A and B are shown apart, each in its own frame.
Chain A
């Protein structure tokens, strides 16, 4: 780099003060191949340390499973990533350039992080189709939302997602009338409509039959690659069927990380979790 370029970098107006940096509406920068950085994060509620010096890195395109006993901090970790809970200390970055701790929940969602709740949460008084329509990536401001109309491409996209989550037959039913497993899928479909870079999926197979579970496993594995998927799950069979890399959380920090085989043979993991 020549000196002129250096000078230009120094003179860039947006680089002079931190507060002038653009924080919202940035495209996530994945040039280093890592999509999520959580570093030295701690958070406590009423003296209870839910997360304790947590360090976690997720690669772009990866399918990561996170396991851990109850109270290990799995859901709290998701709350921190999505902006619902603010950590007491530590840093959380999405790609190289987006500081998650500065953004609100809707801003994080628009930056490209989608979340499925532990309890399936869909808009019960809307039809399946409307649920997907409302989740579709795009305009979120008041006035454009008031005048928004679906175009052909968008309808097509909704129909595609309906097919992926196998709910075409229920297109015009109220989401509240779906079975538990179907709601889980609808919620995953809503995530897909948001077109996020990173999907956080909390207990996706709770309350599903065996066949439904298999379909969900297929769905999540198919998503990895284009998207990065982080799955929190209790069901070991399910983890085994999809996992490439597993992280074990215990008392708010990472206990072990590796393939399913390595994890299962790790004596510390066996002691806290699998040994029962």
Chain B
């Protein structure tokens, strides 16, 4: 079978998918079965928090595909994540219908507040889930395609490309902050009621969202693994290591970069769409350059170029963030900075890299 073949060599991936499957079964059970107050009970709040982490893990995998395997350090993947999130948010806004504060059957609250009398054209179609789902992939994909087409064709690489991706997400943040853009300005989109008819406040919906996120993460991992194990994946690594050689061997480096970068952006958009219904809000803050840098730190901590390492990094750093911002809020940013410096100096290949060297040494001794 194709899938078994794919994972045969991939011990880390087997472990990762195994744990993910375990979590997808165990977390809902621990939420539903033990009574509240029991030591094993998981609150719905925790389930949603875990679901959010899993969406971040999918985002980290998307970044790792571009950075670890293709050598494109994107400091703007937060933009693709946020665009996917906005597409989902627009659908959720339209689902509110006349239950908003102003009770307008068509216009979302913020438009009524701004005295708009009609729905802007780009909000059409978002009352249908399939259309929104399409846009979740299309909006980030198109942006990445356009950006990549211009950047890769001009052979912008390395740190210059990173700075441009950073500028991209910053520009989008400024644009989305403006009320005239029609995406709720500063406040973004929020006050969501239901998704496909399921009440977003209900425990069952939250558990459902967690399971769906886990499934999408597993699917995203498997597709990315299939890509990196294909010849195209080997070409990507070849481009990362010796771009000129790849070109003189006859590969159209620009096309390979464009294809993988665009796919990575689509994946980030899907992660954003899974994130928004769980946290209940999307605002321009998601476009902030700091967010995109944080994603890169997750990947660096976990270990790039392994996919599961990126996911593990996202889970660990975000757990740390939740803990620290609760316990010592003012310390978090310093901790994040220190983490990045330490990982860069001491663990250039991340925690997974450390574990691999350990086990290799152990194997040699035995």
Contact = CB atoms under 8 A, between A and B. Distances in A.
A123 B241 contact: yes
Centre residue among B227, B248, B251 by max chain A CB count within 10 A: B248
Given A117-B244, A123-B237, A124-B242, A110 B250 contact: yes
Given A117-B244, A126-B238, A134 B249 contact: yes
B112 interface: no
B249 A135 contact: yes
Nearest to B258: A142
Contacts of A194: 249-250
A140 B251 contact: yes
A130 B234 contact: yes
A105 B259 CA distance: 19
Contacts of A110: 250
Interface string A107-143: 0011000110100011111100010011101001110
B231 A123 contact: no
B348 to A, nearest CB: 14
B178 interface: no
A122 B245 CA distance: 7
A257 B251 CA distance: 35
A145 interface: yes
B360 interface: no
Interface string B231-258: 1101101100110111111111101100
B233 to A, nearest CB: 8
Centre residue among A109, A117, A134, A148 by max chain B CB count within 10 A: A134
B357 to A, nearest CB: 15
A146 interface: yes
A159 to B, nearest CB: 18
A142 B252 CA distance: 9
B230 interface: yes
Contact of A147 (B230, B234, B241, B259): B230
A124 B245 CA distance: 11
Contacts of B252: 104, 106, 140
A228 interface: no
B230 A133 contact: no
B232 A145 contact: yes
A254 interface: no
Nearest to B239: A123
A124 B241 contact: yes
A117 B243 CA distance: 13
B245 A140 contact: no
B294 to A, nearest CB: 27
A104 B234 CA distance: 22
Contact of A146 (B231, B241, B245, B250): B231
Contact of B248 (A105, A123, A142, A147): A105
A190 B238 CA distance: 13
Interface in A74-124: 82, 84, 104-106, 109-110, 114-115, 117, 121-124
B227 A106 contact: no
Given A123-B238, A126-B238, A134-B235, A109 B248 contact: yes
A209 B177 CA distance: 65
Nearest to A112: B250
Contacts of A121: 242, 244-245
Contacts of B259: 142
A146 B234 contact: no
A148 B231 contact: yes
A142 B249 contact: no
Contacts of B244: 84, 117, 121
B168 to A, nearest CB: 24
A97 to B, nearest CB: 19
A19 B268 CA distance: 41
Contacts of A126: 234, 237-238, 241
B241 A106 contact: no
Interface string B201-245: 000000000000000000000000001001110110110011011
Interface in B244-291: 244-253, 255-256, 259
Contact of B242 (A104, A115, A123, A148): A123
Contacts of A141: 255
A114 B250 CA distance: 9
A114 B245 CA distance: 10
A121 B231 CA distance: 19
Interface string A191-221: 0001000000000000000000000000000
Contacts of A140: 250-252
Nearest to A175: B241
A132 to B, nearest CB: 11
B247 to A, nearest CB: 5
A106 B247 contact: yes
Contact of A123 (B232, B245, B250, B255): B245
Contacts of A106: 247, 250-253
A124 B241 CA distance: 7
Interface in B162-185: none
B247 A109 contact: yes
B255 A142 contact: yes
Interface in B281-331: none
A178 B249 CA distance: 20
A190 B252 CA distance: 17
B71 to A, nearest CB: 11
A24 to B, nearest CB: 11
8 contacts: A109-B250, A121-B244, A123-B237, A135-B249, A141-B255, A145-B230, A145-B256, A146-B230
Interface of B: 227, 230-232, 234-235, 237-238, 241-242, 244-253, 255-256, 259
Interface of A: 82, 84, 104-106, 109-110, 114-115, 117, 121-126, 130, 133-135, 137, 140-142, 145-148, 190, 194
Give the 5 A-B residue pairs with the shortest CB-CB distance, closest first: A109-B250, A146-B232, A148-B231, A123-B238, A145-B232
